Structure 1
Amino acid sequence: AALYCAADGVGAARLDPADGRVLWSRHGPAGDTPSVGVVSVSGGLVHTAVPGGKLRAYDPAKGEQVWDADLSPYLGAPFAAGDTLLLVSEDGTTEALDSATGVSLWRHPLTGHQRPDYALYDEGSGLAYAFEHSAYGSSTLVTAVDAATGHAAWQRRLDGMLTPVGTSDGALVLTSMNGDAQTVGLVRYDPERKSVARVALPFRMNEPEVVVGGDTAYLLAHGGTLVAVDTGPAGDGAVRWQLETAAGRTSAPVLATGNRLYFSAADGRLLAVDTERGTLLGQTSPRLRDGKLTYASALPAPVAAGRTVFGTAPDGSVFAVDGQDPAHW
């Protein structure tokens, strides 16, 4: 019933998804750096964060601030994990805040980690995945943490410079990088069987955005190349399809019902892809400011809700389209 956004100079805003009306917007106190794109909804509240500044929680109905917290002792922005917000301090200690109240639920270092990063949260299991590369990138320590309690469900050191990107039937899927920070493969780790399967990509990809759905990983690289790779336990890691989308710089892709994948391009286009056939179903027109391409440091991913898809463009606009009919966008 609501769409939440962040923008330059706006800490948070609530829009009516039916017609795009701004129902409320809140600016941070004077002197705050705008919290562009850092907005999450958990614990029944809307949260915005400025790394090194303030974490603020707003009531979604009226936009009134409910609580705030100082982020200066922590590295980066909070990681949303269900009804918990995870923060990592300078000494590597993880602290979990109740996203509804801001109360600390637990605080302790993760065994074996010095400064972990959180890359993934699995809603089904309630596990947040922390990872940390070794000094020379030869291995990666991965820990599955129960976000509510802080207990480690499992921990494993895996060869290579890896980053968790998704889960599939209880297994963790990670990307693998070479020494030049190019993604060259995928790794599937099954914690129950303690088995590791590695898949080489057909070519190196520069900083791809990745989303996992079922037994398939979708990798969207700079330049617009979109590749679907089989990651299933019985599969051989084959490339299911490859599509050139001609989108030079993109957001992260988003999977939705009806075999749909959506992502935004730097010129404000929203693109739709059929995940079964690997075909481009449609795209919106570019959204430029005064006819010129506007640079944005980050491109927010679209939001799919029901049959509606909400997109944003670097010109600051937000728009909604019918996800069932991308051919007429």
Structure 2
Amino acid sequence: MSLREDDPRSVGGHRIEARIGTGGMGVVYLARSASGRAVAVKVVHARFADNAEFRARFRQEIAAARRVSGAFTAPVVDADPDAERPWMATAYVPGRTLAERVTESGPLDWPALHRLGTELAEALREIHRAEVVHRDLKPSNVLLLDEEGDDGAVRVIDFGISRAASSDVRTQTGMVMGSPPFMAPEQFSRPREVGPAVDVFSLGALLVYAATGRSPFEADNAYVAAYNTVHSEPELGGLPEPARRLVTACLAKDPAARPTPGEVLEALAKLPGAPARTRDSGDPGSPGAAGSRDERGNAGAPPLPPGAGATVLSESAGRRVGHRRWVAIAAALLLGAAGTTAAVLSLGPTNDAVPRTVTGSTTRTTPAGWQPWRTTLGRDDEVRAGPSLSPSCTPDALGVFCSTPEAALLRLSPTTGRVDWTRPMKDRGVLGPAVSRPVVHDGLVYVRSADAARGVDAFDGRTGKRLWHLDGPVAEFSYLSGVLVARLDEFGASKSADYAAYDPRTGEQVWRRELASASPSPFHAGAEGMLYADLRGGSGPIARIDARTGRTLGTVTAPEGDLWLATVHDGTAYYARWEDGTGVSAAFFIQDLETGRTRRIDFPWSVEPEAPPLVHGDTMYLFDYGNEALLALDLKRGKPLWTSSRELRVFGEPALHDGRLYVNMPDTSVLALDPRTGEEIGRTDPPFDTAGRSFEELSPSPVPPLPAKGVLYGVNDLGVFSVADVS
């Protein structure tokens, strides 16, 4: 990629020649040292320069890369985490990633596969000896050096989310991180407790990929890949017979049952048909060192002339749906099936479980008898122990509705925070209850049924009376355009599924039809009585569907490319374009769903739009997970209006109400911003004490604050609260 006007021309004495890649945290450049040596320089985005915690993360990445520098990893040439914009330089060597090698040349034969397994096992042995766990071993993080026209020695690169055994600093914001088709099951259930065994699991998955071109848990999106990893047996496909037993052991669900890298080496040496000689890690003939990558694991191309571009492979469609958000939701689903759930994450819909735009004027006079309140609903001990068995809640003007392992549904009083009524679980069932965030609309509450059937129950939000019941299994459900839409199958069963719409008050089925789609949540709300269905990857276009009859009214062809249909608003679709499969986006495509006319808006930097943006009038508000910032875009001019200050560190999706934007903050306070300028109007006092908790122990809230009758209701990692609205 050619340099841009604002790119540096020199970093730490290294002359910048071209861009290699970019991500949510920084940019990677091809550069030359004073002696002419090719290096890859990662430079942190300017907005993170004053963030002390981010600098600590970056120092950890540098330290991890230095600790493991060796024959099979990327040596650090130079670094300065204390520079005005922190940077790190590693040696740059031509080569292909394993992903590129398999895509361009096909699966590896047995001798090449044996060599790959041996060198990866040696690399992991050295990494683990340095007391570092990589945690994101995947095809784009394995570099195969060029050697006489063939792929040579292995280099393991990108320690951006690695963890040293002695370090408490994380590079994730309390969320599950990694690449689902190659992650170990425990990375979804116990992400803060993972050990070296996760890398061995990834090694097994890599060998299957190298031999077959597919992960053993391949799926169309990260959600299903995560489900397959935890619940399904691996698909080994055409993996050579000599390796099947070893790879199966590496892919054991129980970390304790997996071999160590040393044991993998011993087993490979004994396999029949192994090459007589594999490269020794100390072979002086090995090409000298590591390739360059951006922080997302994108591959550096062969040596680049100034201004040349690097070809980067999108490795899996799984990251097309907002990577970290989907993985977090998947974790909730997987844990819910085992009797636990991730804190405040939804098994049900994500489109409008909580309304994010509230219209009409309100007074900020608080209701009679109201006092600020907070409740943990018994989650204090659970938060200390980990994100399990936690309630999942939805605030509403009627109160806060919660689902817990003990209660199918309960309502907290909007005035006192005390439990008004509760509907207990009827039958935990063999698999245990599924805790899902309640869907609330117009006084009705929809929640996962209180039995093992995994259906849906509808309740009167005022009285708690159950109005109707839908038998399961129901993979997901949401209130959209005047009907309750449900997918009538087990989650992840197939691309093609039966969908049905129900009268929200009576439960009467109004239509049912089979649809094929690559999206696990294909429906979006239109105007009252109109649905939009994303049928790409299945039966084709974006379809306009009559919400009352299920009849297709028309279709429009979506823009081409690796696009995620993030949201639909007022008959317009908003697609995020992924950058080379990295999970970050540089642009949005905006399409009129009547005419098909499409235009593009470029972002001022690469963002992580992992939740649907909030569109109001001619403005889009986007929560950038990677940069923990709020971005406002003028949709008419296609230009940014403002971004939140780097000091604010936004911690959740926004809600727009009565001329104010409300967002959650890491200290559990709620911030009010002017939606026109991004200027701070005020903030509430934190309802919870976060003293003693590092930022990395908390998770961004997936539930925006809800203003109602002069008070704010909120849900965060620590509990549920109500505070006075910002005056």
Q: Normalised by the size of structure 1, how large is the TM-score?
A: 0.81
Shift of 1:81: 1.1
Cross-structure match for 2:478: 79
Find the aligned partners of 2:647 and 2:543 in 1 and give their Cα distance. 37
Find the aligned partners of 1:315 and 1:262 in 2 and give their Cα distance. 19
Helix, strand or coil: the match of 2:557? strand
Cross-structure match for 2:446: 47
Shift of 1:247: 6.1
Letter in 2 for 1:66: L
The structure where strand makes up a greater share of residues is 1
Shift of 1:7: 4.3
Shift of 1:47: 0.9
Whether the 8 Å CA contact 1:133–1:162 is kept in 2: the answer is no
* Superimposed CA distance per residue, residues 107-134 of structure 1 (whole angstroms, 9 cap, x where no aligned partner): 0124x64666235323x34323322453
Against the structure 1 CA distance between its residues 302 and 246, is the aligned structure 2 distance closer, same or farther, given a 3 Å change threshold?
A: same
1:147 counterpart = 2:547: yes
* Superimposed CA distance per residue, residues 83-138 of structure 1 (whole angstroms, 9 cap, x where no aligned partner): 4111224432211122222221100124x64666235323x343233224539xxx
Whether the 8 Å CA contact 1:185–1:199 is kept in 2: the answer is yes
Choose the corresponding residue for 2:711, options 299, 308, 311: 308
Letter in 2 for 1:191: L
Query: Which shows bigger deviation, 273-282 or 84-93?
Result: 84-93
Find the aligned partners of 1:20 and 1:155 in 2 and give their Cα distance. 47
Find the aligned partners of 2:650 and 2:630 in 1 and give their Cα distance. 12
Cross-structure match for 1:58: 459
Cross-structure match for 2:631: 227
Against the structure 1 CA distance between its residues 55 and 291, is the aligned structure 2 distance closer, same or farther, given a 3 Å change threshold?
A: farther
Find the aligned partners of 1:275 and 1:6 in 2 and give their Cα distance. 30
Shift of 1:19: 3.9
* Superimposed CA distance per residue, residues 181-209 of structure 1 (whole angstroms, 9 cap, x where no aligned partner): 21222222113333111111111112443
Cross-structure match for 1:242: 643
Against the structure 1 CA distance between its residues 28 and 126, is the aligned structure 2 distance closer, same or farther, given a 3 Å change threshold?
A: same
Find the aligned partners of 1:4 and 1:128 in 2 and give their Cα distance. 28
Question: Unpaired runs of 5+ in structure 2?
Answer: 1-396
Whether the 8 Å CA contact 2:556–2:594 is kept in 1: the answer is no
Against the structure 1 CA distance between its residues 225 and 281, is the aligned structure 2 distance closer, same or farther, given a 3 Å change threshold?
A: same
Find the aligned partners of 1:156 and 1:217 in 2 and give their Cα distance. 23
Whether the 8 Å CA contact 1:92–1:116 is kept in 2: the answer is no
Cross-structure match for 1:8: 404
Shift of 1:262: 1.3
Cross-structure match for 2:26: none
1:175 counterpart = 2:572: no
Whether the 8 Å CA contact 1:299–1:314 is kept in 2: the answer is no
User: For the pair shown, which has the larger CA radius of gyration, 1 or 2?
Assistant: 2
Find the aligned partners of 1:197 and 1:52 in 2 and give their Cα distance. 45
Q: In percent, how many aligned pairs have the same letter?
A: 23
Helix, strand or coil: the match of 1:244? coil
Against the structure 1 CA distance between its residues 247 and 109, is the aligned structure 2 distance closer, same or farther, given a 3 Å change threshold?
A: farther
Find the aligned partners of 2:713 and 2:442 in 1 and give their Cα distance. 23
1:103 counterpart = 2:508: yes
Shift of 1:162: 2.4
Find the aligned partners of 1:266 and 1:152 in 2 and give their Cα distance. 44
Alignment of 1:126-275 (within 5 A): 126-134=529-537, 141-158=541-558, 159-160=560-561, 161-168=563-570, 170-178=571-579, 179-209=581-611, 210-222=613-625, 223-231=627-635, 235-244=636-645, 246=647, 250-258=651-659, 260-275=660-675
Find the aligned partners of 2:685 and 2:443 in 1 and give their Cα distance. 35
Shift of 1:2: 0.8
Whether the 8 Å CA contact 1:226–1:245 is kept in 2: the answer is no
Against the structure 1 CA distance between its residues 279 and 162, is the aligned structure 2 distance closer, same or farther, given a 3 Å change threshold?
A: same
Alignment of 1:312-327 (within 5 A): 312-323=715-726, 325=727
* Superimposed CA distance per residue, residues 209-234 of structure 1 (whole angstroms, 9 cap, x where no aligned partner): 31111111111112321111122xxx
Find the aligned partners of 1:26 and 1:102 in 2 and give their Cα distance. 19
Choose the corresponding residue for 1:17, options 411, 414, 425: 414
Cross-structure match for 1:121: 525
Against the structure 1 CA distance between its residues 25 and 297, is the aligned structure 2 distance closer, same or farther, given a 3 Å change threshold?
A: farther
Letter in 2 for 1:198: R
Shift of 1:257: 1.3
Against the structure 1 CA distance between its residues 247 and 120, is the aligned structure 2 distance closer, same or farther, given a 3 Å change threshold?
A: farther
Against the structure 1 CA distance between its residues 245 and 166, is the aligned structure 2 distance closer, same or farther, given a 3 Å change threshold?
A: farther
1:92 counterpart = 2:497: yes
Helix, strand or coil: the match of 1:220? strand
Against the structure 1 CA distance between its residues 99 and 211, is the aligned structure 2 distance closer, same or farther, given a 3 Å change threshold?
A: same
Letter in 1 for 2:484: L
Helix, strand or coil: the match of 1:23? strand
Whether the 8 Å CA contact 1:228–1:240 is kept in 2: the answer is yes
Letter in 2 for 1:57: A
Shift of 1:276: 0.9
Letter in 1 for 2:508: V
Letter in 2 for 1:92: A
Find the aligned partners of 1:317 and 1:42 in 2 and give their Cα distance. 19
Find the aligned partners of 1:278 and 1:212 in 2 and give their Cα distance. 15
Choose the corresponding residue for 1:28, options 425, 428, 436: 425
Runs of 4+ in 1 over 6 A off after TM superposition: none
Against the structure 1 CA distance between its residues 268 and 118, is the aligned structure 2 distance closer, same or farther, given a 3 Å change threshold?
A: farther
Shift of 1:271: 2.0
Find the aligned partners of 1:109 and 1:267 in 2 and give their Cα distance. 46
Find the aligned partners of 2:639 and 2:528 in 1 and give their Cα distance. 28
Find the aligned partners of 1:22 and 1:251 in 2 and give their Cα distance. 26
Find the aligned partners of 2:550 and 2:648 in 1 and give their Cα distance. 40
Helix, strand or coil: the match of 1:317? strand
1:69 counterpart = 2:466: no
Q: Normalised by the size of structure 2, how large is the TM-score?
A: 0.39
Shift of 1:142: 2.1
Question: Unpaired runs of 5+ in structure 1?
Answer: none
Against the structure 1 CA distance between its residues 191 and 213, is the aligned structure 2 distance closer, same or farther, given a 3 Å change threshold?
A: same
Shift of 1:174: 3.0
Whether the 8 Å CA contact 1:267–1:314 is kept in 2: the answer is no
Letter in 2 for 1:300: V
Whether the 8 Å CA contact 1:43–1:83 is kept in 2: the answer is no
